Structure 1
Amino acid sequence: MQYWVKYGYQARHFSHGSPKWTPSWRSCLSLPQHDLKARALALHRHKQRQTPPQQMNTMEHADMTPHQETPIALKHRERKAGAIGDNLKALRKEKGLTIAAVASASGISAASVSRIENGRISPTFEAIVNLAKGLKVDVSELFYHTEDTSFRGWLALTRAQEGDVIETPNYRYRPLCNNVASKEYMVLETTVLNRSLEEFGGLQKHSGQEQIIVTSGEVTVWTELYDPILLRVGDSLAFDSTLGHAITYNGDTPATMTWVCSAYA
């Protein structure tokens, strides 16, 4: 009998009664023979999983090219990556909820929820957070299907120019290493789309914490308690997301930022 071990996204198996480890999936690193913890983990998971784990699309080995996709990567593409409306509908159906139930739990009108699902309107980040709260999922679930990585040793990789772009009324996002359910934060490569507070549509607030680092151009951060703050390339600002806030760009070219925010609604 063989037992599969999911150990830091490296797969191993060993024969019953034998402590000898042998490679079983791609170019995985060897585990020490005396690793009793890994052996115990294998025994514990034997009854639940007797097939080798498959790797997520952004959790690649270093020798995988950007054009290679694992079966699970292809499965994820069935839920259209980056399409928040499609992800919202899929999550709602998975939980057996009606549009009215999601609307009531998230504080967003049923008509708006329906329009978001059908791609007729694009939700603001504030609305995305409220929808995640109503669905009782991580905010990241609405950006991309995520996998549970509650065990130790996981890693996630997004290569340059990879990943799906998501556009909302105020920002254009490219989530980085986003399909990891146990992460407590999200990192978004962000383009600021509005030049004025009027274009932005007013201050927004939601649960969580945020930090931004300007990578090109200049931005102005507007808040309900402080004077507007000008940030240039290399400047960083962190704030409580429950503080009403908005970010606009200065000049003729939209600015870009690295945006770190809470993954939980």
Structure 2
Amino acid sequence: MRGNQGEEALAIGKRLRAIRRAQNATLADVSARAGVSISALSKIENAQISASYDILKRACDALGVGIEDIVSATAKSQLSGRKTVTRRGEGEQFRSDQYDYRIHASEISKKAMIPFEMVIRARKVEDFDHWSEHEGEEFVYVLDGAIEIHTEHYAPFRLAAGESAYFDSSMKHLYLAVGEADARVLSISHDPATAERRPVSTYMHPSTRQVPA
């Protein structure tokens, strides 16, 4: 890791370590709760690897914090009557080998819904070495282009611009762009089973890394 990407990994690692230590939790404690190896957690805290969103989500759930508290140092709102606006070009940006993400409403912590604007660049299933899966439900609406959604229980199906799908996100799934142009979608994830007892975030693909501002 070099430049801003390395600086972001360092900042995320420091925030994760600080929150863990503030709770008097050991790496072994978080590892047991999150189902993530002690080695992987240690490497994230020491900025030796760029953490995937899957791993960060598990660690945040294990620590009882919103993922926004890890990926961004800006102050978060947890008050009733909360409001935030994300303008064009704003929002935390992340990238995996298959998708580009822009997180909307990242200023609000412990949200029941996580809205993503995603650009789908993958064209074939073989582009993935890991399918996404996370607790809760997911809504996807195609803004531009067309996508093909693959899941572990249903035959692949396609959506064009203006069309949407809603599905159980604990089912393994992935998105492919159809045609020459990349597709752009709005994806909103919600975890009703955990919304009341712990912060809700969502999975990104494991190869996801933050894009420097």
Question: What is the alpha-carbon distance in structure 2 between the residues aligned to residue 104 and residue 259 of structure 1?
Answer: 30
Cα 1:233–1:148, aligned 2, differ >3 Å: closer, same or farther? same
Structure 2 SS opposite 1:178 = coil
> How many residues are treated as equivalent by the alignment?
185
* Cα drift, residue 140 of structure 1: 3.7
* Candidates 56, 60, 66, aligned match of 1:138: 66
Equivalent of 1:208 in 132, 136, 141: 136
Aligned match of 1:258:
186
CA distance in 2, matches of 1:86, 1:257: 32
How far is the alpha carbon of 1:252 from its aligned partner?
A: 3.3
Is there any run of 5+ residues in structure 2 with no aligned partner, and where? 1-6, 191-198, 202-213
Runs of 4+ residues deviating >6 angstroms: none
- Quick one: structure 1 residues 182 and 100, their matched pair in 2 at CA, closer, same or farther if it must change by over 3 Å? closer
Between 1 and 2, higher relative CO (CA 8 Å, sep ≥ 6) is seen in: 2
Q: 1:188 to 1:119 in 2, by over 3 A?
A: farther
Question: Which among 175, 183, 186 is matched to residue 111 of structure 2?
Answer: 183
**1:150 pairs with 54, 75, 79, which one?**
79
Please tell me the residue identity of whatever aligns with 1:149.
Answer: Q
Per-residue deviation, 1:185: 0.6
Alignment-derived partner of residue 99 in structure 1? 27
Q: Is the 8 A contact 2:110 2:200 kept in 1?
A: no
Q: Partners in 1 of 2:31 and 2:41 — Cα distance?
A: 6
Deviation at 1:164, TM superposition (A): 2.8
Measured against aligned partners, the alpha-carbon deviations of 1:140-179 in whole angstroms (never above 9, x if no partner) come to 4344356243323x21011111223122344322111122
Kindly provide the amino acid, as one letter, of the partner of residue 260 in structure 1: I
The structural deviation recorded for 1:124 is 4.1
1:183-203 deviation per Cα after TM superposition (whole angstroms, max 9, x unaligned): 311111112232222212243
Cα 1:170–1:141 shift into 2, 3 Å: farther
Judge which range, 121-130 or 170-179, deviates more: 121-130
TM (norm. structure 1) is 0.60
Higher mean alpha-carbon deviation, 175-184 vs 89-98, is at: 89-98
Task: Report what 1:58 is aligned to.
Answer: none
**TM-score normalized by the length of structure 2:** 0.73
Unpaired stretches in structure 1, ≥5 consecutive residues: 1-78
The alpha-carbon deviation at position 220 of structure 1 amounts to 1.4
**What pairs up with 1:215-230 in 2 under 5 angstroms?**
215-230=143-158
Change (3 A) 1:193 1:105: farther
CA RMSD of aligned residues (A): 2.7
8 A Cα contact 1:224 1:243, kept in partner: yes
Is the contact between residue 130 and residue 206 of structure 1 (CA under 8 Å) also seen in structure 2? no
Question: Would you say the 8 A contact 1:206–1:242 is kept in 2?
Answer: yes
Asked whether the equivalents of residues 66 and 110 of structure 2 are also in contact (C-alpha less than 8 Å), the reply is no
Identity of aligned residues (%): 27
Partner of 2:3: none
SS of corresponding position for 2:41: helix
Task: Report the CA distance between 1:218 and its aligned residue.
Answer: 1.9
